[in-house]
């Protein structure tokens, strides 16, 4: 058998030939490779190594992103806070009310102590008379009843004074609260806060950014209004 016949017998035709329309010509493969290479080259040489997505965005998109960033930075709500302790310690009305309450407490305590001392002196005098036999049994019983009534009156007087001080303190706190909330309502007509919180050590707010602190502004307005009416 000749060489030509051997080649003809060895190379058999493909029983399932690929249609011409499905084959990818070699030139197309080369073009795709070249295109990918150009894109990679462009990316490496003409685009920044770290490109911010906001730079490629449209002006409208960048504006929306900026607005969202401001909202995130400032909080979803427009919130301010005041230091409650600072208001109570530096608001002139609160300071004067506290002084008035303390003076009333000292006055009542002094009056109660004077009465208690009088009662104690009578008890000691009665005990001396009884020990020396200077008072009859009948008079001693009457004196004991009298002293017991005085003691009960002192207990009631102590409760009355404590209740009076508590009522006065509640009335002062109510007036202070009304003054502060009235001013905050007027102040917020200018500012438009969603919330104005009271911040105090050990309270419900554990942390607050200083940029939301309006204590000094509120305190100045409260004291200015107090000075204007006194």
Cα separation of 98 and 88, whole Å? 9
Q: Is the four-CA dihedral 98, 103, 106, 111 of positive or negative sign? A: negative
- Higher-confidence residue of 177 and 56: namely 177
Q: Which of 4-13, 22-31, 146-155 has the highest mean pLDDT?
A: 146-155
Q: 3-state secondary structure string, the chain?
A: CCHHHHHHHHCCCCCCCCCHHHCCCHHHHHHHHHHHHHHHHHHHHHCCCCCCHHHHCCHHHHHHHHHHHHHHHHCCCCEEEEEHHHHHHHCHHHHHHHHHHHHHHHHHHHHHHHHHHHHHHHHHHHHHHHHHCCCCHHHHHHHHHHHHHHHHHHHHHHHHHHHHHHHHHHHHHHHHHHHHHHHHHHHHHHHCCCEEEEECCCCCCCCCCHHHECHHHHHHHHHHHHHHCC
What pLDDT is stored for residue 177 in this prediction? 94
What pLDDT is stored for residue 141 in this prediction? 92
- Lowest mean pLDDT across 16-25, 44-53, 78-87, 95-104: 16-25
What pLDDT is stored for residue 53 in this prediction? 43
What pLDDT is stored for residue 205 in this prediction? 85
What pLDDT is stored for residue 138 in this prediction? 92
Q: What is the average per-residue pLDDT within 52-72?
A: 58
Tokens in use for 118? 């009088």
Q: What is the dihedral of CA 194, 200, 201, 202, to 10 degrees?
A: -70
Name which of 180, 193, 192, 164 is nearest 221 in CA terms: 180
Q: 3-state secondary structure string, 146-157?
A: HHHHHHHHHHHH
Which of the four pLDDT bands, split at 50, 70 and 90, describes residue 204?
Answer: confident
Residue 15 has pLDDT above 50, yes or no: no
In the numeric block, the tokens 């017991």 are attached to 148
Residue 227 has pLDDT above 80, yes or no: yes
Residue 75 has pLDDT above 90, yes or no: no
pLDDT tens by residue, 86-141: 999 999 999 999 999 999 999 999 999 999 999 999 999 999 999 998 989 999 99
- Lowest mean pLDDT across 66-75, 120-129, 218-227: 66-75
Q: 3-state secondary structure string, 154-178?
A: HHHHHHHHHHHHHHHHHHHHHHHHH
Which of the four pLDDT bands, split at 50, 70 and 90, describes residue 56?
Answer: low
């Amino acid at each position: 058998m000749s060489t030509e016949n051997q080649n003809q017998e060895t190379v058999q035709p493909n029983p399932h030939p690929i249609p011409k329309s499905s084959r990818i010509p070699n030139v197309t493969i080369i073009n795709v490779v070249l295109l990918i290479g150009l894109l990679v080259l462009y990316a490496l040489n003409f685009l920044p190594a770290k490109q911010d997505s906001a730079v490629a965005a449209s002006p409208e998109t960048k504006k929306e992103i900026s607005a969202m960033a401001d909202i995130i930075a400032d909080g979803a709500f427009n919130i301010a806070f005041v230091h409650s302790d600072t208001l109570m310690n530096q608001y002139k009305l609160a300071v004067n009310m506290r002084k008035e309450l303390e003076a009333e407490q000292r006055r009542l305590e002094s009056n109660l102590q004077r009465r208690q001392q009088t009662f104690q002196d009578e008890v000691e005098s009665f005990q001396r008379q009884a020990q020396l036999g200077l008072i009859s049994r009948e008079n001693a019983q009457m004196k004991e009843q009298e002293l017991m009534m005085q003691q009960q009156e002192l207990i009631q007087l102590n409760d009355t004074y404590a209740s009076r001080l508590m009522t006065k303190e509640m009335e002062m706190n109510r007036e202070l609260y009304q003054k502060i909330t009235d001013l905050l309502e007027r102040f917020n007509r200018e500012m438009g806060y969603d919330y104005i919180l009271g911040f105090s050590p050990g309270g419900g707010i554990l942390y607050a950014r200083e940029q939301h602190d309006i204590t000094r502004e509120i305190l100045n307005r409260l004291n200015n209004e107090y000075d204007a009416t006194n």
